[in-house]
Amino acid sequence: MRYGFVRTAALAPKIKVADTGYNAQEIIRLMKEAWERGARILVFPELCITGYTCGELFLQELLLRQAKEALLEILDAGRGMDGLFFVGLPLAVQGKLYNTAAVFSDGKLLGLVPKTCIPNYGEFYEARHFAKAPESCRFIDWEGRKVPFGTDVLFCCRDMPGLLTAAEICEDVWAADPPSVRHALHGASVIVNLSASDEITGKEDYRRELLRIQSGRLVCGYVYASAGEGESSTDLVFGGHHLICENGTVLKESRRFQNETIYGELDIERLQGERRRISTFPGEVDEPEYVMVPYRMKDVDLPLERYVDKAPFVPDGKEEREKRCEEILMIQAMGLKKRMEHTGCRSVVIGISGGLDSTLALLVAAKACDLLQLERSCITAVTMPCFGTTDRTYRNACELTERLGAGLREVDIREAVTVHFRDIGQDQEKHDVTYENAQARERTQVLMDVANQTGGMVVGTGDMSELALGWATYNGDHMSMYGVNASVPKTLVRHLVRYYADTCGDDRLSAVLLDILDTPVSPELLPPRDGVIAQKTEDLVGPYELHDFYLYHMLRYGSAPDKIYYLAKHAFRGEYEDAVILKWLKTFVRRFFAQQFKRSCLPDGPKVGSVAVSPRGDLRMPSDASAALWLDCLENLV
């Protein structure tokens, strides 16, 4: 697939215990079906050629011989199928029997990976039959060829250099020192697990959490295929519980007791980028030296089936979203509380416009005052009507301040701005950038001076989405003494305000917050038309939900613009035409590079998530970097 995606599959054939011929045909049938659907890493369960529950039959020469014959039949059927296939079988090597994963591509056996952790307890006493994997990799004869036999083997895709795959078997992942840790430290970006995990009460949750955490711990993709119906039920039941995880997230999970095939697309480029970003992830390791086995996997032009969240900054579920909102509000308030304590400041000043950002800043300031056990009257909310102010936003600003118990101060700046226009020779009928920015800078001057009068500090209101686009007046609303919203994207600002409206317990306050949420985003720097906001930000720079999507994937994963476009088309299909997505992505890239100088001198402010634009920690970017490479990526795309 394109842009570093590879489709994987976890499969569980409905086998017949010890019937290797029947099982081989079922494996071949599923193998062909999954390959036709674009899967290029296919993982079957542990010992699936014979069945995991053969018991003492594993000591029968006939069964072992037929298991090998069945593998040869599977290999023959796999000719012409590129990718990587993992199938489990018992295999005798140099006088010992091993629980083994056979790894092959295009009908050619690439290697054999034996199980490391052999249980010597429980219903299936594997130590009765199988030997533990040898400590070092060796080469054994296979049909006249030498193939690696051991755990320290990586399978390298020639067509996707970042795709390195390693295997472990069932209990290996439960070990104190699982092979997957070693594999990941040697570069494996995908770990597969061939398993036969029986079902008992509570085990499903434990298994899911273990594998999810393991994929996050190792910053890798993890494909887990477990035995299902068809295994002997003499003592246990096997549920065919498959999981495909990526970096701490469960991408796909099968229903138990269904023997279904699941598909999941792993983002190898994202995993590589994440490992580069995490400076503590080891780049070099000592022995043992791994055997590197190459294979081919041609590009498959398939539509992306993976879920792509169109609002990556906002949690999906209501319960998780509310929990996150409460946490973010507390982080913001604690940051402001510390700054007030450190400066000995007993007052804060906020420019209140009746818009979302200043509303959130006022809510945070109220919470900080509560934490400091100060009266909320120490907050001075300043409304500064000018040429673009509408009655709706003015009323909301006043009522919001009143309901929160803050002090309200009105400073009409029309006359001051008019005088300033006369001083600099600006035609008041010329509604250009000077016309707009003069108002923004006048408001900032008023706030700074009011802060001096009250012995307070100016709390900034601008959010991260505006900073990413440079949608702020330099040394105007761009400047403050502490910016509480600096790492909160616009899409999340909305949810924080709505959360407060839903939980404040004040019907009138809730009503005004909901009306603010319903008001178009605007700096209100141009005169209204018939009393209605004339200047709508998203008409000028594009929808914030798109820009937040672009920002997240660019900064969080280092994704190239063409990949971001590919993902955005998938996430927003049916909502925006491709040409619209591309138009605003070009706008985002141009503005993001051109406006870095505004972010290079940002005031302090608390980081609340994994993406932030502070020049002191998260985005140390030159202000004069060229956007040419990033814009070139978007040429000739449709």
Q: What is the pLDDT of residues 531-547, one digit of tens each?
A: 666 667 788 899 999 99
Q: What angle do CA 291, 292, 295 make, to 5 degrees?
A: 140
On whether the 318-632 domain is CATH 3.40.718.10, my answer is no
Query: Cα 50 from chain centroid?
Result: 39
Catalytic residue of the set 48, 117, 137, 170: 170
DSSP 123-179: SS-GGGT-PPPPSS-EEEEETTEEEEESS-EEEEETTSTT-EEEEEEGGGGGSSS-H
Euclidean distance between CA atoms 184 and 196, whole angstroms: 23
pLDDT tens digits along 76-89: 999 999 999 999 99
pTM score of the predicted model: 0.92
User: Residue ranges of the domains in the chain?
Assistant: 5-280, 318-632
- Given a contact cutoff of 8 angstroms between Cβ atoms, the answer to whether 437 and 471 are in contact is no
| Residue 569 annotated in active site | no
Catalytic residue of the set 68, 115, 310, 586: 115
Q: pLDDT-derived band of residue 124, with 50, 70 and 90 as boundaries?
A: low
What does DSSP say about strands 262-267 and 5-10: parallel, antiparallel, or unpaired? antiparallel
**Helix (H, G, I), strand (E, B), or coil: what is residue 451?**
helix
For the chain, give the number of residues: 638
Q: Scan for tokens 């003499």, then name that residue.
A: 234
DSSP 572-632: TTTTS-HHHHHHHHHHHHHHHHHTHHHHTTPPP----SS----TTTT----TT---HHHHH
From residue 559, alpha-carbon distances to 67, 273, 562, 609, 625 in Å are 45, 8, 8, 18, 17
Euclidean distance between CA atoms 339 and 335, whole angstroms: 6
Residue 391 corresponds to which amino acid?
D
Cα Rg for the chain, rounded, in angstroms? 31
Q: pLDDT-derived band of residue 469, with 50, 70 and 90 as boundaries?
A: very high
Per CATH, the homologous superfamily of domain 5-280 is: Carbon-nitrogen hydrolase (3.60.110.10)
Q: Provide the 8-state DSSP code for 529.
A: B
From residue 604, alpha-carbon distances to 47, 326, 337 in Å are 58, 21, 13
Burial tier of 19 (Cβ tally within 10 Å: 0-12, 13-18, 19+): middle
* φ/ψ of residue 112, rounded to 5: -130, 125
Nearest partner of 166 among 103, 215, 123, judged by Cα: 103
Mean residue pLDDT across the chain: 94
Q: pLDDT-derived band of residue 67, with 50, 70 and 90 as boundaries?
A: very high
| Residue 115 annotated in active site | yes
Burial tier of 63 (Cβ tally within 10 Å: 0-12, 13-18, 19+): middle
Q: Is residue 279 scored above 80 in pLDDT?
A: no
Q: Is residue 287 scored above 90 in pLDDT?
A: no
| Residue 46 annotated in active site | yes
Q: pLDDT-derived band of residue 119, with 50, 70 and 90 as boundaries?
A: confident
Q: pLDDT-derived band of residue 282, with 50, 70 and 90 as boundaries?
A: confident
pLDDT confidence of residue 288: 66
